[in-house]
Amino acid sequence: EASAKDLLDEASAKLLDEAAVVARNARVFLVPTMNPDGFSARRRNNANSVDLNRDFPDQFNEPGMPDRFDARQPETAAMMRFSESVNATAALNFHEGALVANYPYDAISGTNRKAGYSKSPDDAAFRRLAKVYAHAHPTMATAANEEFPEGITNGARWYPLWGGMQDWHYVKTQTMDVTVEVNERKWPDESQLARLWTEHAPAMMAYAKTVATESTFGRLTDSVTGDAIRGATLAVAGVDVRFTPTSRRTGYYARFLAPGRHEVTASAPGYYPQTRSANAGERLDISLRRMEDARPSSAPEKDGDDGAAVVEKDGDDG
């Protein structure tokens, strides 16, 4: 029979193996806290008494979701600028107050302010990601979690909120954002931190590995020049949202999709659209042919709420 030490060593070895996979396939950005003043003061709001997770542009209350950096709190504006510069494939946000993986949408359209399921176009993919996290945690997706026995919840079905980072990330930067409530008790005692890390580290790594290895990815380029295409977008059949390549320099893109085979259509002004099919997680390079009367296009270079971990699937552009 394996001893406790053997089991711990086995778990640590697995964690290191998964970390190596993530390191080979993705870039990971860590933000220890988005609200340092609130964290220091043990309160939700920042030093200006503003709840940062209600301060982001909201798709239902602010049509077009303008940045308006001057109207945001400095922490919000900093996170928005960072996120827009990275265009990460997926992210995790860490909160306290429950034990659950929460996925978009958090907000509900219209005048209804009551809790109810608010389905995003990528609902199936979000549910898959949330379950990856919940099932890699020892108790999140078990009967021991009385409030959320499945370990996941749609944000608005739990309680709706407007101006949250999770919805903004998805709509504006194409980032698949899941918010993890790590503990029923807010501000857990320091003596509990080691336990919380032991419980959540495997789930964090499972989430990052899934994004890094199971996202559909490739390059969208000009069929003649091999260059990235200005204004190019992609769409997945059955998913009512378009997305753009992460890198304007190479045309690299990555998108986490629900399991199964998908039809992906690429299009750009002055080019013939093209539809290709691939299984979720496969590489799918697409080259578009210019229309006879179209001018060649050139693409400018652009490299691509508490704590957050952001994962960008690595590609040809590094």
Is beta strand 233-236 parallel, antiparallel or unpaired with respect to 242-243? antiparallel
Closest CA to 90 of 80, 103, 76, 99: 103
In this structure, which long-range contacts are made by residues 16-21, counting pairs with CB atoms below 8 Å and at least 24 apart in sequence?
Answer: 18/205, 18/206, 18/208, 18/209, 19/205, 21/209, 21/212, 21/213
Backbone torsions φ then ψ of 4, nearest 5 degrees: -60, -35
- Tell me the C-alpha distance between 293 and 305, whole Å: 49
Query: Distance (Å, rounded) from C-alpha 89 to C-alpha 65?
Result: 20
| Measured distance CA(207)–CA(180) in Å, rounded | 11
For the annotated catalytic residues, the residue numbers are 181
DSSP 8-state class, residue 51 = -
Cβ count within 10 A of residue 192: 11
Distance CA 13, CA 16 (A): 5
The set of long-range contacts for 40-47, using a CB threshold of 8 Å and a minimum separation of 24, is 42/187, 46/73, 46/75
